[in-house]
């Protein structure tokens, strides 16, 4: 029988972990939950985690409102997500209602509707279905999955698929 070799766990001092987390947060915006999970995966004790997170907030490496705004802008502009999906993902990351509201304010209404219209038309062009009911359903399911509001989705599906 062969012995299984486990690599020894690496332990970090508070200074090492702090430096590592400063780099982690400087690389891209992070939420508190991501930082806490990362520190837990580094086998840090709760007292050290609190100390490091406190330092990151104080030094402005970690800012939940800034994270929420960057997240909302990015997911809207790059992934073309609607507000429902953005809100769901932010809540999953334990972002406060206040920060979610200020993040959604980053998205201009006219850009929102223009992006929605372009996305719906692009997707419709990709659907090969000939049955108009099935075509409408496929379009609606896609847009709902992306987090667009149901009243917008059904209006657009009815407008585009005759």
The whole-number average pLDDT for the span 46-51 is 94
% of the chain at pLDDT higher than 90: 90
Q: Is the pLDDT of residue 18 over 70?
A: yes
Helix axes 97-104, 64-77, angle to 10 degrees: 40
pTM of the model: 0.85
Can you tell me the distance from the alpha carbon of 3 to that of 10, in angstroms, rounded to the nearest whole number?
A: 21
Tens digits of residue pLDDT in 51-67? 999 999 999 999 999 99
SS3 at position 62: coil
- Provide the pLDDT for residue 12: 87
Can you tell me the distance from the alpha carbon of 125 to that of 94, in angstroms, rounded to the nearest whole number?
A: 37
- Minimum mean pLDDT range among 6-15, 141-150, 152-161: 6-15
Q: Report whether 44 contacts 17 (CB < 8 A).
A: yes
Q: Is the pLDDT of residue 5 over 80?
A: no
What's the CATH code, domain 14-62?
Answer: 1.10.10
- Provide the pLDDT for residue 7: 55
- Provide the pLDDT for residue 80: 95
Residue 32 is inside which H or E element, if any? helix 32-41
The whole-number average pLDDT for the span 30-49 is 94
Q: Report whether 95 contacts 70 (CB < 8 A).
A: no
As a whole number, the mean pLDDT across the chain is 92
The whole-number average pLDDT for the span 100-107 is 94
Q: Is the pLDDT of residue 88 over 70?
A: yes
| Angle (CA) 98 91 107, round 5° | 60
Domain residue spans in the chain?
14-62, 64-107, 108-162
């Amino acid at each position: 029988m062969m012995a299984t070799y486990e690599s020894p766990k690496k332990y970090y001092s508070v200074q090492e972990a702090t430096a590592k987390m400063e780099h982690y947060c400087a690389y891209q915006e992070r939420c508190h939950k991501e930082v806490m999970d990362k520190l837990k995966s580094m086998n840090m004790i709760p007292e050290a985690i609190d100390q490091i997170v406190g330092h990151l907030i104080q030094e402005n490496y970690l800012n939940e409102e800034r994270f929420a705004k960057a997240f909302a802008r990015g997911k809207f502009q790059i992934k073309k997500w609607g507000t429902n999906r953005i809100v769901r993902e932010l809540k999953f990351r334990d972002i406060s209602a206040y920060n979610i509201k200020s993040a959604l304010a980053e998205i201009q209404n006219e850009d929102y509707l223009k992006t929605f219209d372009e996305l719906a038309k692009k997707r419709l062009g990709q659907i090969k279905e000939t049955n108009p009911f099935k075509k409408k359903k496929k379009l609606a399911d896609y847009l709902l999955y992306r987090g667009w509001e149901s009243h917008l989705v059904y209006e657009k599906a009815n407008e585009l698929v005759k």
